[in-house]
Amino acid sequence: MITLVGIGHVFSIKKAVKYLIKIRRPNAVCIELDKARYEILESGTRDEQEGPFLMKRLRKVYDKAAKIQGASVGEEMMGAVEAANEMNIPHYFIDVEASPVVSSMLKGLSLGQKIKLAGSVLTTSVLPKKQLEEGLKKVEEDPEFAMEQFEKAFPTLKRDLVDYRDKYMATRIRELSQEYSDIIAVVGEGHMSGILKNLQGLPLNEIHLKEVKGIAEKIENGEI
């Protein structure tokens, strides 16, 4: 069985992710990370000045959203690593290396798309707290719609940042399923649909972000 757990990188769901892994006791855990991003998260030494201007602004948006949620960006993925280590089961980073993909993606954008993307990122970065919270809620409630809107606005980004990685991660999971009979894969909610499509024919189970957040709330309230 392959269980996909949908997460959001700015939500306070680390404990819920660890809970799901520990209660289900898989043979292996797959995580939407590459080694370089894991090392940055583990060390906490991210260089805020590194990378293109748009990426630096986008990181600020993520940090702002995470702060509103009482979380830190990527803590849920670190929780998956921690759970696997505590249970002494193998874990695998299944995502592509981010830097080359981002560089290629930016080079492939037309000037008009770059201007449009810059405007979108800058506008989001200055949104009031209430509007940002509303936006996060919409993504949580209807991730498919959010992805459709993203594809309409930025088809090239959807292809390079989402579709390509969906196929890559699904291929890694499929390969690992030949070795492990029970896998949990912790991936962004926006990747769930694409990965599921690319894993058709295998036994699949889905736990979406909304349910993960519900578990997080129960843990917080001492209900589980």
Q: So what's the pLDDT on residue 179?
A: 96
Query: Which position has the token pair 């590194």?
Result: 50
Name residue 217's amino acid. E
Q: So what's the pLDDT on residue 41?
A: 82
Name residue 25's amino acid. R
User: What is the pTM assigned to this prediction?
Assistant: 0.81
Assess contact for 224 and 214: CB atoms under 8 A: no
Q: Give the DSSP H or E segment for 116.
A: helix 111-125
Name residue 81's amino acid. V
Assess contact for 79 and 18: CB atoms under 8 A: yes
Please provide the DSSP assignment of 32-82 as one string: S--HHHHHHHHHT---TT-S-HHHHHHHHHHHHHHHHHT--TTHHHHHHHH
Q: Give the DSSP H or E segment for 121.
A: helix 111-125
CB within 8 Å of 87: residues ≥ 6 apart: 21, 22, 25
Mapped onto helix, strand or coil, the DSSP state of residue 154 is: coil
Report how many helices (DSSP H) and strands (DSSP E) the chain contains, helices first.
12, 5
Assess contact for 164 and 138: CB atoms under 8 A: no
Residue 185 sits at φ, ψ, to 5 deg, of -115, 120
As given in the structure block, the two tokens for residue 17 are 């992710």
Q: Give the DSSP H or E segment for 210.
A: helix 209-220
Q: So what's the pLDDT on residue 64?
A: 62
Q: Give the DSSP H or E segment for 101.
A: helix 98-108
Q: So what's the pLDDT on residue 63?
A: 65
Instruction: List, for the chain, all residue ranges whose pLDDT scores fall below the cut of 70.
Output: 45-66, 68-71, 101-108, 110, 112-114, 116-129, 131-136, 139-142
CB within 8 Å of 155: residues ≥ 6 apart: none
